[in-house]
């Protein structure tokens, strides 16, 4: 199945062959796109830029480095905290959002997006068409913790020429090293892609992220990847989504983002169900099931599925300026929509907040999108079916109104005639 070979992201595992260092085989290297350093920052440079940004905005931003290591392997994760409006970042009444980027080494674009979001939060860059006043009132109530490069050791290997590497500095996939359903292997398991490590949380990077998630206890978690365009919710290790109102809120929020920022191109649903392959030991499943974060997502922000699966830089990252700009513009706007809508959707005083944003048509459209992707070829049948349901629904509403009108006018008539009859003593 072609999709399987092309998509290489947080959830799905394509059996990619690891690329031999560029240049070792001249016949192969001719078709391999090198990293475009005119567009992308080397990771050291990116972190330097982020440090400078933080230092220019001490009223809004702060940064800390968390280190961990075992068996001679060390990792460090930088965490940027955004908090404004005079509130303390550890004030538990704030709405808390935790975002992580660059969990897989080869997905460079995700860390560029992290930098863009921070630049907008610090008001050095701006969203097009955004009302500043609304944005300010939204951001006053938030604390955002953002990890720009979760897997910096793996990223270094990519920068050194190992363009298809997604794992950490000692070959473990950080999105298979978490404690929910850890270590289960599918038939096509490929250790060069999804080696889960020796035990759950064997990796320093995963230990750091778990500690951060538990201590911060976010309302929203988003793990940002590339390889396709998708907005995933739990679960990755089974092909269903959790049940109940919270799930409905997650889905409604994703449908809103898909419509406004992804032109309904993005796949929506459970990671495991949407693409037909299960992933075990993922971060999002743990954050949802164990940390109990009410909204836990995995976003896939870009994928070139026309390119060879060996041409990893091109497959996972936009390679030209217009598409690079488009991805950063579209997705930074998507995140600010989430910053705005997320707290509304989770506000317990307005449990119907989600409904305010969704008409019956939008709801049905969203339903269609999901089914379209989960069941592939059934889409046309369901599509036609849902269009008919919508038409019948409108006819039903219209006929109900007419019936009510007739009923009321009848009552009025009989009332009138009764009044004209002399009242019997």
Shortest Cβ 225–Zn ion spacing (Å): 3
Pairing of strands 95-101, 142-147: parallel
Least CB distance from residue 334 to Zn ion, whole Å?
A: 17
- In whole angstroms, how close is the CB of 51 to Zn ion at the nearest point? 25
Question: With respect to Zn ion, which residue has the nearer C-beta, 17 or 397?
Answer: 17
Residue of the chain from 225, 251, 261, 372 that contacts Zn ion (CB under 5 A): 225
* Residues pairing with 238 in the sheet: none
| Contact window for Zn ion (CB under 5 A) among 181-189, 219-227, 264-272, 392-400 | 219-227
**Residues labelled catalytic:** 300
Pick the piece of the chain touching Zn ion (CB under 5 A) from 206-214, 222-230, 256-264, 280-288: 222-230
The shares of helix, strand and coil residues in the chain, as percent rounded to the nearest 5, are: 45, 15, 40
Interface residue with Zn ion, options 6, 9, 209, 233 (CB under 5 A): 9
Cα 25 from Cα 273, distance rounded (Å)? 39
Say which residues have a Cβ less than 8 Å from residue 345's Cβ, sequence separation at least 6: 249, 252, 253, 295, 353, 354
For Zn ion, what does the binding mask look like between residues 10 and 49, x meaning CB under 5 A? x---------------------------------------
Using the minimum distance from each CB to Zn ion, give the nearer residue, 165 or 181.
165
Give 87 or 195: the residue with its C-beta nearer to Zn ion.
195
CA atoms of 142 and 96, how far apart (whole Å): 6
At which residue do the structure tokens 């009332």 appear? Answer: 415
Query: Are 389 and 381 in contact, with CB atoms under 8 Å apart?
Result: no
- Give me the least distance between CB of 220 and Zn ion, in Å please: 19
Which position has the token pair 């220019």?
Answer: 56
Residues in binding contact with Zn ion, number by CB under 5 A: 4
Structural tokens at position 151: 């897997």
Q: Which is nearer to Zn ion, 173 or 365 (CB)?
A: 173
Minimal distance, residue 212 CB to Zn ion, in Å: 19
Stretch that binds Zn ion, among 5-13, 210-218, 265-273, 374-382 (CB under 5 A): 5-13
Other beta carbons less than 10 A from residue 297's beta carbon: 25
The DSSP string of 58-111 is TTTEEEEEEEEEETTEEEEEEEEEEE-TT--TT-TTSEEEEEEE-SSTT-HHHH
Axis-axis angle for helices 43-56, 152-159 (nearest 10) = 130
Q: Which is nearer to Zn ion, 53 or 319 (CB)?
A: 319
String of contacts with Zn ion for each residue 92-121, x by CB under 5 A: ------------x-----------------
> Residue written as tokens 């050291």?
44
What is the nearest approach in angstroms of Zn ion to the Cβ of residue 10? 4
Residue nearer to Zn ion on the CB measure, 104 or 145: 104
Is residue 6 close enough to count as binding Zn ion by CB under 5 A? no
Tell which residue, 364, 370, 145, 147, has the closest CA to residue 254: 370
From 147-155, 206-214, 217-225, 281-289, give the range in contact with Zn ion by CB under 5 A: 217-225
Q: Please report, as ranges, the residues that interact with Zn ion according to CB under 5 A.
A: 9-10, 104, 225
């Amino acid at each position: 199945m072609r999709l399987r070979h092309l998509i290489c992201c947080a959830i799905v595992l394509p059996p990619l062959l690891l690329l031999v260092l560029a240049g070792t085989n001249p016949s192969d290297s001719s078709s391999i796109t090198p990293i475009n350093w005119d567009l992308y920052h080397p990771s050291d440079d990116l972190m330097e830029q982020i440090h400078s940004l933080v230092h220019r905005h001490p009223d809004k931003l702060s940064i800390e480095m968390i280190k961990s290591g075992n068996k001679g392997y060390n990792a460090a994760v930088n965490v940027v905290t955004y908090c404004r409006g005079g509130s303390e970042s550890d004030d538990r009444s704030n709405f808390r959002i935790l975002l992580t980027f660059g969990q897989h080494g080869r997905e460079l674009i995700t860390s560029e997006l992290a930098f863009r979001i921070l630049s907008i939060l610090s008001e050095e860059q701006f969203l097009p068409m955004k009302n500043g006043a609304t944005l300010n009132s939204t951001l006053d109530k938030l604390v955002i913790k953002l990890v720009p490069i979760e897997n910096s050791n793996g990223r270094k290997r990519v920068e050194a020429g190992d363009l298809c590497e997604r794992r950490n500095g000692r070959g473990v996939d950080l999105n298979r090293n978490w404690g929910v359903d850890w270590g289960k292997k599918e038939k096509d398991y490929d250790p060069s892609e999804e080696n889960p490590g020796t035990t759950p949380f064997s990796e320093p990077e995963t230990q750091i992220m778990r500690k951060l998630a538990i201590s911060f206890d976010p309302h929203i978690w988003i793990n940002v990847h590339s390889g396709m365009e998708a907005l995933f919710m739990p679960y990755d290790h089974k092909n269903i989504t959790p049940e109940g109102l919270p799930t409905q809120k997650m889905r409604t929020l994703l449908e809103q983002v898909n419509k406004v920022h992804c032109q309904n191109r993005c796949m929506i649903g459970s990671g495991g169900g949407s693409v037909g392959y299960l992933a075990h030991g993922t971060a999002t499943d743990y954050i949802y099931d164990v940390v109990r974060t009410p909204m836990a997502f995995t976003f896939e922000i870009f994928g070139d599925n026309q390119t060879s699966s060996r041409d990893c830089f091109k497959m996972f990252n936009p390679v030209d300026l217009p598409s690079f700009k488009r991805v950063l513009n579209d997705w930074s706007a998507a995140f600010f929509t989430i910053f705005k809508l997320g707290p509304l959707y989770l506000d317990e005083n307005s449990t119907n907040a989600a409904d305010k944003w969704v008409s019956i048509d939008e709801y049905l459209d969203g339903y269609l999108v999901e089914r379209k992707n989960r069941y592939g070829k059934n889409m046309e049948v369901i599509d036609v079916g849902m269009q008919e349901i919508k038409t019948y629904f409108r006819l039903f509403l219209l006929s109900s109104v007419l019936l009510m009108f007739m009923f009321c006018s009848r009552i009025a008539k009989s009332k009138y005639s009764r009044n004209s009859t002399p009242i019997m003593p």
